[in-house]
Amino acid sequence: MSAIAACSHIICRENYQHQWLISSGGTNLLSLKSTTRTSWVECRKGEGEGRKLGKRNVRVEAFWQNLSRPSVIEMEPITDSDHLDQILLNAQQNSQPILIDWMAAWCRKCIFLKPKLEKLAAEYHNKLKFYCVDVNKVPQSLVNRGNISKMPTIQLWKDGEMKEEVIGGHKAWMVIEEVRDMIRKFV
C-alpha cells in the first residue's frame, strides 16, 4: 500500500475498532480499515520510507473536506438603522430571512457564541444571511428597534419584521440547537 500526502509527516495508527487514521498537518487524509489485527506504520520526515511492523490486509477510504461550500462564514456587522432598513429591504425582495445576533464586546457568552453562529451560517449560507450588532457601537435607536434587553439575543427577521428570538444566557450548544429549531420554522 502507498499513500501520497501533501506533507512528509504521515502517521497511521490503529484504534480499538481496527480503524486507522492517516493525518497530515491536522487534516484527515485517509481512513484505513483493517480486517485483521495488525500493528501500526509510521512514516516521518527524516526517517526514510518508514517501517512496517506487521503484515496486514487493509482497505483504504478517503476523507476529503467538502471545499465546494465554506465551513465558516463571518457575520456582517450592522452599523445603524438605515443599514438595517437596507438589509431588510434586500432580504424582503429576495424573500430570504435574516438572522441577527445582538451582542456586546464585553459579554463572554456573546464572544463564545459568535464562532458557533458563524459555523451555523455556513450550514445555511444559501438559505438565510447572518448579521451581528455590537450594541455598544451602534446608536441606541437601533437597539431600541430590536427591543433588546438581554444579550446575546438572536433574532430571525422575515418580511421586514422580527418573527422569533432566542435569548442565549445558557450553554452555547443549547442556544445553537434553539437557533436551529427557530431557523427550521421559517426556512
Catalytic residues: 107, 110
Q: What are phi and psi of 18, to 5 degrees?
A: 60, 40
Question: Do residues 128 and 154 make contact, with C-beta atoms less than 8 angstroms apart?
Answer: no
**Contact criterion met (CB below 8 Å) for 33 and 17:** no
**To which residue does cell 428597534 refer?**
145
- Give the C-alpha separation, 168 to 71, whole Å: 23
* 104 backbone dihedrals φ, ψ, rounded to 5°: -135, 145
Residue 5: burial class (beta carbons within 10 Å; 0-12, 13-18, 19+): middle
Strands (DSSP E) contained in the chain are 10-14, 19-24, 27-34, 41-43, 58-62, 76-77, 98-103, 129-134, 153-158, 161-167
